[in-house]
Copies of this chain bind each other. A is one copy, B any other.
Amino acid sequence: MLSHERVWAAIDALAERYSLSASGLAKKAGLDSTAFNKSKRLSVDGRPRWPSTESLAKIIEATNSSLEEFIQFVEAPKSARPRSREIQARVPLLGFAQAGAGGFFDDAGFPAGEGWDLIELPARATETSYALQVQGDSMLPLYRNGDVLIVEPGAAIRKGDRVVVKTVSGEVMAKVLERQAQGAIELVSLNPEHPKRQFKSAEVEWVARIVWASQ
């Protein structure tokens, strides 16, 4: 959120990030060296003083920082661990039912016009996701030989999720979670020709959710 307190904290954090004092940062940006003094963050009557957007633009440029970095400082209290620098991937998003209506695609099939949302692709949102490549036909029709499954060990799992399961005996399989209760886990096969399977919790080493699959 954008608050008076957070904006000033971000300015302090940005200055520190570039080994500057608040007054040094102001000077570097071509502003008066007293511009960011703590003594000037509230006006005489106690009303919060907000630095102008123009001043913010100047300090971001003067430090060769970026708007993203500055926003991270706004959002993360200085004492907290700075969020990792990873950039979230965003692509335009549209509901399938709307896709047939006019105006969403140009003649060549590229997104066009208004009405597109943006969606972030979470596959790389954590440092711990990994990929498994399908081998064989046992997971048809869902997954074909060569398809790549992105698995996120930390993701929350609910009934109906597609998961990778490793048993204590060393078997690794991709299934749909039917039920997870105390002491037992029920899995539906991705291939309808294969039967449901049940395991006691003690037989399961870990369960991890499949979050994306290549096509």
A interface list, Cβ under 8 A from B: 1-4, 7, 48, 50-54, 56-57, 60-61, 66-68, 70-72, 74-76, 81-82, 84-85, 87-97, 99-102, 105, 107-112, 116, 118-119, 121, 123-124, 128-136, 141-142, 144, 148-150, 153, 160-162, 164, 166, 170-172, 174, 192, 205-215
Contact = CB atoms under 8 A, between A and B. Distances in A.
A94 B213 contact: no
Contacts of A161: 215
Contacts of A68: 71
A213 B142 CA distance: 11
A112 B166 CA distance: 14
A54 B2 CA distance: 9
A215 B211 contact: yes
